[in-house]
Amino acid sequence: MRTIKSINSLKRELKIIKSKNQTIGFVPTMGAFHKGHLSLMRNARRDNDIVIVSIFVNPTQFGPKEDFEKYPRQIKIDELFAKKEKVDIIFYPSAKEIYKDCHLTYVNVTNISKVLCGRSRPNHFEGVTTIVSKLINITEPDVMYLGQKDAQQAVIIKTMVKDLNFNVAIKICPIVREKDGLAMSSRNSYLSQKHRQEAPCLYKSLKEAKKMILAGNTNSKSILSWVASNIKNNSSGIIDYTECINADTLMPISRIKGRAMIALAVKFRKTRLIDNILFHLK
Amino acid sequence: MRTIKSINSLKRELKIIKSKNQTIGFVPTMGAFHKGHLSLMRNARRDNDIVIVSIFVNPTQFGPKEDFEKYPRQIKIDELFAKKEKVDIIFYPSAKEIYKDCHLTYVNVTNISKVLCGRSRPNHFEGVTTIVSKLINITEPDVMYLGQKDAQQAVIIKTMVKDLNFNVAIKICPIVREKDGLAMSSRNSYLSQKHRQEAPCLYKSLKEAKKMILAGNTNSKSILSWVASNIKNNSSGIIDYTECINADTLMPISRIKGRAMIALAVKFRKTRLIDNILFHLK
Condensed to tens digits (0 to 9), the pLDDT of residues A98-157 reads 998 899 999 999 999 999 999 999 999 999 999 999 999 999 999 999 999 999 999 999
Cα–Cα distance measured from residue A250 to residue A156, given in angstroms and rounded to the nearest whole number:
9
Query: What is the arithmetic mean of pLDDT over B93-97?
Result: 97
Chain A environment of B110 (Cβ under 8 Å): 104-106
Would the pTM count as exceeding 0.90?
yes
pLDDT class of A258 with cuts at 50, 70, 90 = very high
- pLDDT tens-place string over residues B196-235: 999 999 999 999 999 999 999 999 999 999 999 999 999 9
Query: What is the arithmetic mean of pLDDT over A60-80?
Result: 95
User: According to CATH, what is the number of the domain A2-173?
Assistant: 3.40.50.620
Of B68, B70, B40, the residue nearest B54 (C-alpha): B40
What is the maximal distance between C-alpha atoms in chain B? 59
The pLDDT assigned to B174 comes to 98
Whether residue A273 contacts residue A241, with contact meaning beta carbons closer than 8 Å, is answered with no
Q: Which fold has domain A186-281?
A: Pantoate--beta-alanine Ligase; Chain: A,domain 2 (3.30.1300)
Cβ–Cβ gap B137/A112 under 8 Å:
no
The pLDDT assigned to A282 comes to 82
Average pLDDT over chain A, rounded to whole? Answer: 97
Phi, psi of A278 (to 5 degrees): -105, 150
The pLDDT assigned to B251 comes to 95
Query: What is the arithmetic mean of pLDDT over A165-182?
Result: 98
ipTM confidence:
0.97
How many Cβ atoms from other residues are within 10 Å of residue B233's Cβ?
A: 9
Whether residue B147 contacts residue B36, with contact meaning beta carbons closer than 8 Å, is answered with yes
- Domain range summary for chain A, segments of one domain joined by +: 2-173, 186-281
Query: What is the arithmetic mean of pLDDT over B51-70?
Result: 95
- pLDDT tens-place string over residues A205-237: 999 999 999 999 999 999 999 999 999 999 999
Rounded to a whole number, what is the distance in Å from the CA of B37 to chain A's nearest CA? 25
Cβ–Cβ gap B105/A107 under 8 Å:
yes
**Residue in A104, A162, A164 nearest the CB of B159:** A104
Q: Where in chain A does DSSP place strands (E)? A: 2-4, 24-29, 50-55, 89-91, 105-109, 143-147, 169-173, 238-246, 258-268, 271-281
Rounded to a whole number, what is the distance in Å from the CA of B182 to chain A's nearest CA? 33
Query: What is the arithmetic mean of pLDDT over B157-180?
Result: 98
The pLDDT assigned to B259 comes to 96
Cα–Cα distance measured from residue A151 to residue A156, given in angstroms and rounded to the nearest whole number:
9
